[in-house]
Structure 1
C-alpha cells in the first residue's frame, strides 16, 4: 500500500478561526468537503475577541449586534457540518508530498495532511502597540486600557481615547451618552475611520489634533490627568480624566508562513480574483490577503471565504459546479431542515 494512502488526508484545511475561517468551514461543508480548522489560540473568533463589547452595524441582514454575539453565531454555523477543529497549534511549515498532498507541521511538531489550504490568519499573531511613555505600565491594572470588555465601567466617567483608526472612533461613539465626557487625541488631523462614524464622533467628543499623549499624571496606581503636546508647536494641554483608552493598533506577524514563498504586498498575501496564492492548492481569505477590490469588512471576509472554497473545490474537482447550491435547494440541508422545522 502506498504510504500516502495511510495518511488521514483532508480535502481542505483552514488555518485560522476568525470570521473568514469560520465561514469557510461552513461553506466547505456545503460543498461536501472534509474540513479541518487549525487555530493557534484556544477558541474561535480571531481578532474579534479583542472587542467583544463593540456594537457591529455593518454585517448584512442583522441588526446592530455585540461582537461577542456575532462570534457565537459564527461558531455555531462553522460547526454545522462537523469539521475537525484543532486548537493551540501554530502552523509553521509546509511541504508537498507525493500525489500533491500538502503536509503542515505545527511549531510543536504535529503534522496535518490536506489536499488544499485556505489561509484565514487575519492579522496574524497580533501584539498591541502599547503607549510608549515611561511608567505607563503601572496603570494597566487600573484605568489605562488597551481594549474594552465592559462598557459599563465608563458610565459617568471622563474618558480620554488616544488613536485615530476605526477602533478609536468606534469606542468614542460607543461611549456617547454613557460617559460624562469623551476626549479623542490623535497625532494627525485626519482620522482613518469611515466618514459617517468620524462625523458622529466629532459631533459630541472633544477632538484634539494633531496631538500626542506626552505624560500621565497619577496618584499611586491611577491616572488623574493627561498632558498632551501639539505635534508641531509642542503646545501643552492638561486634561483631567477618570479613564484612558489607547488604540494605537497592532503589530502584524505572520510567523513562519512567510517562509513558504508566498508572494505578498504591504498589507498581506497577494491573491488573484479567485483567492489563489502563487502556491498551487493554497488559497486565502479575510484580513491576511490583498487584491485590487479587497473589502476590509466582516462581510468582505465572508465573500473571500466563498471564493476561496469554490476555487479549492475546483482545484480538486475541475468538473465540479463553480459554486455550492443555495441552501434552500442544497441536498446537504435536507435532513437539517427537518430538525429545524421540528
Structure 2
C-alpha cells in the first residue's frame, strides 16, 4: 500500500495534467496514473496538427501543447506513474479511495479525479485477416508526421472529423490522397466536410476495403481491393501508405464495475454536475469523461473542469477552506518564481 495522497488523478491528458497543476495551487498532494508510456492523452493522436482554440495561445502544434502542459503539471512535483492500467476503484475501511492497477499496486488517496477522456482509447483495427503484419510498414492508425507521406499515394479510410482532417492536411504534401468511406454521409463538422469537398482529395463513399494486396516481399501493402456497398462494384487502388481511422474502442471497465456504483450516462460518460462532482462524495471527473448540462467538449473546457474538481476536493477535505477558485496572480506560491522570471526579463 502506498502513501495516502490528497488526490489521485486517473488519466494524464489535458484535464489530468491541469488538475495536477491546480492541486499544487491549493496545497494538495497529488499523483497521476496514466496507462500510456507518456503524458498528453489524446493529443498524441495529432502531434503536428495546429490547435487554435485555446484561450490566450496563438496557434500551437499538438506536440508543443503536450510539452507545455506537462511542464506546467510538474510545477509542484506530483507523483507521476506511467504504464499502469487502473483495474479497480473502491474504498477502504478508513473511507479512503483505493486504486488498484494491473501491476498489483494499490494507491490510496482521500479523493479521486477521473480524467480518462473517453476511457482508454485504442484505435479500431482494420477487420481484415493478416492486416496486422503491415502495421510495421505502411498501414497506420495515427499520423505522427505529415512529412512521412511526402510524394506518396495515400488512402485514408474513415468518415469522421479525424479521417477528413488527415486527408485534407496530407493533400498538399502527398502525390495523391484518396478517402474511402463505407457510409453515405460523413460524420463530421460541416466546415471540415466543406474543406474536403473543395480540395483535390478523391472521395469514394459507400466504399469498404475488402482485401489488402502485398508486394512481392509480402512486407508492404501494394494495393487495396474495395467494394461499393451499393453497386457491388470492386475496384483496386495502388497505395504507398494506408491510413485507417474507424474510431476508437473505449474501455471504462474499472468505473462500470466499481462497487461504488458510479452513475454513468449513455454508457460512455460519468454523470456529474457543473462543479465536476459525481454521485460519489470525494470522486470527481474532468474532461471528456464528464457529462453535465452545458458541458464544453474542448481542451479549454477540460481545464475548467479540472479547476472545479480540485476546488471541490479541497472543500471536501477541508470544508472551512477558501471556497473560490485560486488565481496565480494572487498566489504566494509564485512570488519567488515570479521574481526570478521578471528579473530575467528585465536584465535582457
After TM superposition, is the score higher than 0.5?
A: yes
Structure 1 residue 115: deviation in Å? 1.3
Q: Which position in structure 1 is the counterpart of 2:204?
A: 208
Structure 1 residue 287: deviation in Å? 2.0
User: Of residues 70, 82, 88 in structure 2, which corresponds to 1:87?
Assistant: 82
Runs (5+) with no aligned partner, structure 1: 1-5
- Partner SS, residue 173 of structure 1: helix
Indicate if the aligned counterparts of 1:125 and 1:255 stay in contact, CA closer than 8 A: no
- Partner SS, residue 8 of structure 1: coil
User: Of residues 217, 220, 223 in structure 1, which corresponds to 2:221?
Assistant: 223
- Partner SS, residue 245 of structure 1: strand
Structure 1 residue 99: deviation in Å? 5.0
Task: Label 1:244 to 1:107 Cα distance change in 2 as closer, same or farther (>3 A).
Answer: closer
Task: Label 1:240 to 1:90 Cα distance change in 2 as closer, same or farther (>3 A).
Answer: closer
Q: How does 1:84-233 map to 2 (within 5 A)?
A: 84-98=79-93, 100-204=95-199, 205-220=201-216, 221-233=219-231
When normalised by structure 2's length, the TM-score is: 0.89
Indicate if the aligned counterparts of 1:30 and 1:324 stay in contact, CA closer than 8 A: no
- Partner SS, residue 75 of structure 2: coil
Q: Which position in structure 2 is the counterpart of 1:71?
A: 66
- Partner SS, residue 84 of structure 2: coil
Structure 1 residue 95: deviation in Å? 3.4
Q: Which position in structure 1 is the counterpart of 2:271?
A: 270
Structure 1 residue 8: deviation in Å? 3.3
Q: For 2:107 and 2:113, how far apart are their aligned partners in 1?
A: 14
Runs (5+) with no aligned partner, structure 2: 344-348
Matched, 1:28 2:2: no
Q: For 1:300 and 1:231, how far apart are their aligned partners in 2?
A: 39
Question: After alignment, is 41-50 or 245-254 more displaced?
Answer: 41-50
Matched, 1:43 2:38: yes
Q: For 2:213 and 2:89, how far apart are their aligned partners in 1?
A: 50
Structure 1 residue 250: deviation in Å? 1.4
Q: For 1:333 and 1:50, how far apart are their aligned partners in 2?
A: 33
Q: Which position in structure 1 is the counterpart of 2:300?
A: 299
- Partner SS, residue 120 of structure 2: coil
Indicate if the aligned counterparts of 1:12 and 1:34 stay in contact, CA closer than 8 A: yes
Indicate if the aligned counterparts of 2:307 and 2:325 stay in contact, CA closer than 8 A: no
User: Of residues 239, 254, 257 in structure 2, which corresponds to 1:256?
Assistant: 254
Matched, 1:238 2:236: yes
Structure 1 residue 98: deviation in Å? 4.8
Structure 1 residue 282: deviation in Å? 0.3
Indicate if the aligned counterparts of 2:2 and 2:106 stay in contact, CA closer than 8 A: no
**1:21-56 residue CA offsets vs partner (Å, 9 max, x unmatched):** 001111121122122212233321223223323332
Structure 1 residue 273: deviation in Å? 1.8
Measured on the aligned residues, the alpha-carbon RMSD in Å equals: 2.1
Structure 1 residue 270: deviation in Å? 1.4
Q: For 2:211 and 2:246, how far apart are their aligned partners in 1?
A: 16
Q: For 2:145 and 2:301, how far apart are their aligned partners in 1?
A: 28
- Partner SS, residue 62 of structure 1: coil
Question: After alignment, is 85-94 or 141-150 more displaced?
Answer: 85-94
Task: Label 1:182 to 1:57 Cα distance change in 2 as closer, same or farther (>3 A).
Answer: farther
Q: For 1:94 and 1:138, how far apart are their aligned partners in 2?
A: 36
Q: Which position in structure 2 is the counterpart of 1:18?
A: 13
